[in-house]
């Protein structure tokens, strides 16, 4: 059964299930759904959590053993299966199909995954989960939707005068959901009363934008390597920095690659700007990056960034901060950065 992400919380108030799959490219939204599901399970007495990170060589017997064992600490438990990119092979597909049909009453299963491709959506295991449980898909929030999402978040935290505040946040974080969420949390901590002086916040956000992740990426695209080093050093102590930078840079690189492909197919630069919704102030930044890097060159940077993403998730030993800085410097034009 498919349930819309925004309807999940209310759905769980009236209906029950012991099997859930939440997936999508927006990590923040996937995690929010997991929290809703865990809260629902906890109210029913499912306190213990057992987690497995799945890959193609995973031994599924460990899951079946967990399903059959009675815990010494809790008679009810949640088993979370993180499928990652969901390339789990025939063995994994068969295992999930079997699991979904024989879940004991004292077990809740939560499966999580990244964005699923068409072949995965048509797979045996996905259809089995859809048939026997609840499936929640999460799609990227478009710029046009971000403002309403931000307002709702601010409302939930009791932040007043939030229409203008939300507009400022949306512009400053350029549609990146993780960065938007982080900024909202900062506001909630800085203004516990919910009362925000709009002029004061405008001044704050203007100062912050000089040393933001988005200014860092823009500096890289514009070839300002010294500025890249300076901003990177300023921001790198924040524990959330690698995750937000990786996510933001991946989106920007992917967009550049698609724009580069359009140019190769004969579209003019203005046509590319229009079809990709490039903001006016970003046009010169995008143009500089497209003139500097070929389609193939951009793809190589994206492949390097994919390794960083795997390292952040504990699936690769690439040194995250070093590689992120090297990619940014490479994009800025610094040669032989490894």
The C-alpha atoms of residue 172 and residue 179 are separated, in whole angstroms, by 9
The C-alpha atoms of residue 214 and residue 245 are separated, in whole angstroms, by 8
Same domain, 127 and 37: yes
Q: Which of 209, 232, 253 is the last residue of a domain?
A: 209
| Domain count of the fold of the chain | 3
Helices (H) and strands (E) in the chain, counts: 17, 5
pLDDT value of position 22: 95
Of 325, 331, 308, 305, residue with least CA distance to 232: 325
Residue whose structure tokens are 């919380």: 9
Same domain, 245 and 281: yes
Same domain, 18 and 43: yes
Q: What is the CATH number of the domain that holds 261?
A: 1.20.272.10
Give the distance from CA 57 to its chain's centroid.
25
Q: What is the CATH number of the domain that holds 31?
A: 3.40.50.300
Same domain, 79 and 200: no
Same domain, 216 and 204: no
pLDDT value of position 73: 54
Q: Which of 138, 167, 197 is the last residue of a domain?
A: 138
Same domain, 169 and 294: no
- pLDDT, block means (10 residues), the chain with 338 residues: 87 90 88 92 89 87 83 74 87 91 90 89 92 90 76 83 80 75 83 81 72 88 93 88 90 92 92 83 90 93 92 88 95 80
The C-alpha atoms of residue 79 and residue 219 are separated, in whole angstroms, by 44
Q: Which of 138, 158, 188 is the last residue of a domain?
A: 138
Same domain, 245 and 324: yes
Same domain, 205 and 215: no
Residue-number span of the structural domain to which 65 is assigned: 5-138
Same domain, 227 and 196: no
Q: What SS3 class is residue 304?
A: helix
Same domain, 198 and 155: yes
Same domain, 32 and 76: yes
Same domain, 163 and 279: no
Q: What is the CATH number of the domain that holds 202?
A: 1.10.8.60
pLDDT value of position 88: 87
Sheet with 107-113, strands from edge to edge, namely 48-53, 77-82, 107-113, 19-24, 134-138
pTM of the model: 0.62
The C-alpha atoms of residue 329 and residue 338 are separated, in whole angstroms, by 10
């Amino acid at each position: 059964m498919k349930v819309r992400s925004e309807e999940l919380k209310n759905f769980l108030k009236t209906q029950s299930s012991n099997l859930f799959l939440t997936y999508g490219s927006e990590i923040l939204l996937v995690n929010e759904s997991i929290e809703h599901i865990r809260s629902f399970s906890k109210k029913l007495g499912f306190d213990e959590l057992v987690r497995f990170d799945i890959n193609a060589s995973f031994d599924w017997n460990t899951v079946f053993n967990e399903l059959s064992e009675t815990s010494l600490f809790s008679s009810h438990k949640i088993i979370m299966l993180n499928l990652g990119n969901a390339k789990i092979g025939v063995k994994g597909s068969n295992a999930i199909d079997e699991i979904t049909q024989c879940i004991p009453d004292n077990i809740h299963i939560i499966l999580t995954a990244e964005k699923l491709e068409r072949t995965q959506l048509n797979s045996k295991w996905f259809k089995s989960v859809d048939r026997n449980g609840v499936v929640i898909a999460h799609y990227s929030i478009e710029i046009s939707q971000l403002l309403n999402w931000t307002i709702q978040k601010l409302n939930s935290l009791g932040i007043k005068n939030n229409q203008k505040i939300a507009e400022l946040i949306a512009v400053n974080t350029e549609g990146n959901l993780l960065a938007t969420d982080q900024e909202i949390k900062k506001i909630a901590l800085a203004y516990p009363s919910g009362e925000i002086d709009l002029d004061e916040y405008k001044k704050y956000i203007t100062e912050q934008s000089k040393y933001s992740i988005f200014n860092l990426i823009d500096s890289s695209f514009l070839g300002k390597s010294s500025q890249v080093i300076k901003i990177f050093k300023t921001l790198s102590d924040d524990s959330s920095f690698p995750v937000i930078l990786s996510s933001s840079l991946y989106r920007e690189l992917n967009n550049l690659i698609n724009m580069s492909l359009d140019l190769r197919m004969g579209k003019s630069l203005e046509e590319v700007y229009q079809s990709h919704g490039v903001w006016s102030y970003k046009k010169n930044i995008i143009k500089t990056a497209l003139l500097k890097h070929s389609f193939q060159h951009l793809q190589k940077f994206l492949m390097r960034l994919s390794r960083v993403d795997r390292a952040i998730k504990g699936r690769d030993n690439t040194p995250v901060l070093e590689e992120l800085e090297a990619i940014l410097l490479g994009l800025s034009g610094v040669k032989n950065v490894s």
